[in-house]
Structure 1
């Protein structure tokens, strides 16, 4: 059985693009972290929350470098691009990276537009969590958290690559499973809000970053290491 990934053998991995990308990312991330905590009064409250963004970034980037979409027709590429773009938008909406005030959009009211400062805002936070860029308008609100944007872009690319490879039922199942997995953490946060943060949902909400990181990594692995149409 062949897979939609490159083979890895012994020390050859050190000469692969993934190894170079990982080395560069680790250097940049280390310098960024040391510089941030050296130049600010910020303190580390929980090491895992400092490192989680880099898990998203590194896993996402390595998966994109690792996976090459199969050459296919222009029509298939356009269709796959449209689906992947829609998938990214849905993830962004569910995760709260983008929100739309439907009342203001439909002209039925001003929603919460007067309760917030409008315009572009930039917040310097720990690397990966920031720099956070936000925009607040009367209709559209955007809150771009770097590691989530990179992670969701990587997932969308993997969905695009899977669609280009799509041929059989097995691959369709892998695509659907990986796509659904990546939505679990944002649905969990949404459910926590609806439930008012009580009971088990409160515990899940408190661990939302832990859970979403685990699910993100699993989703990337499912979508990146998958059988291609050449599987036998």
Structure 2
């Protein structure tokens, strides 16, 4: 049985110390934040059970239902938990304009707003999709269609609010470059994930795979984006 040399031991020790230092630098949730997270989860679960009992909706594939509930719970936690830093009226207006523009981009890229469907039915209806994705308010019109699924609406609103908070903090911290939407790399991930199938086109094996895994991909990107925008490494936290 071989033993480690002194140099190898030193390397492993340095790597371990680096990992521990990185872990200790990560933000630790406060008691208040944990309570708000618990409240968001409880609220989502209660709404889910009420929705299933009061409608004809079914869980369907558990994986997709779990994703929908996860989107809503995390989105509500973000909206409940963020305390925006004080800022001037001009800064808040600029941040609000960027956040609204970001939400609109997400809504279009994520399919909340689409063009008219030839031969589609016009008017307003409610679709009882699996929890999180339903109840979906659907509007069909001659100019555009709306597919308002709770998971997407709440999730995209949470991301937009995080962008708003990021812009306000960036102005207060004099961080350059963050105001530009696409200079914030993590901000553009949900947009890229939503548009990835159009890059390859339909009918290809890659497009089929991306479509099959679109809920997995979008959920992963959503969670990673929330973590990065909530933690915001580089802001001196």
TM-score by length of 2: 0.75
Distance 1:82 1:43 in 2: 38
**Structure 1 residues 34 and 65, CA gap change in structure 2 (3 angstroms):** closer
Distance 1:154 1:129 in 2: 16
More off after superposition, 90-99 vs 31-40: 31-40
Q: CA RMSD in A?
A: 2.8
Q: Which of 150, 156, 175 is the aligned partner of 1:168?
A: 175
Who is 2:17 aligned against? none
* Structure 2 unmatched runs, 5+: 1-26
Point out the structure with max Rg over C-alpha. Answer: 2
**In the TM superposition, what is the alpha-carbon distance from 1:220 to its structure 2 partner?**
0.8
1:1-232 equivalent positions in 2, closer than 5 A: 8=28, 13=31, 16=32, 18-35=33-50, 37=52, 44-100=59-115, 112=118, 115-166=119-170, 167-169=174-176, 176-191=184-199, 195-227=201-233, 231=236
**Structure 1 residues 74 and 37, CA gap change in structure 2 (3 angstroms):** closer
Distance 2:164 2:84 in 1: 8
Please say if residues 184 and 215 of structure 1, whose CA atoms lie closer than 8 Å, have aligned partners that are also in contact: no
The count of residues paired between Structure 1 and Structure 2 equals 207
**Structure 1 residues 122 and 59, CA gap change in structure 2 (3 angstroms):** same
SS of equivalent to 1:135: strand
Please say if residues 122 and 139 of structure 2, whose CA atoms lie closer than 8 Å, have aligned partners that are also in contact: yes
Distance 2:55 2:73 in 1: 25
* Structure 1 unmatched runs, 5+: 1-6, 102-110
Who is 1:108 aligned against? none
Distance 1:210 1:53 in 2: 11
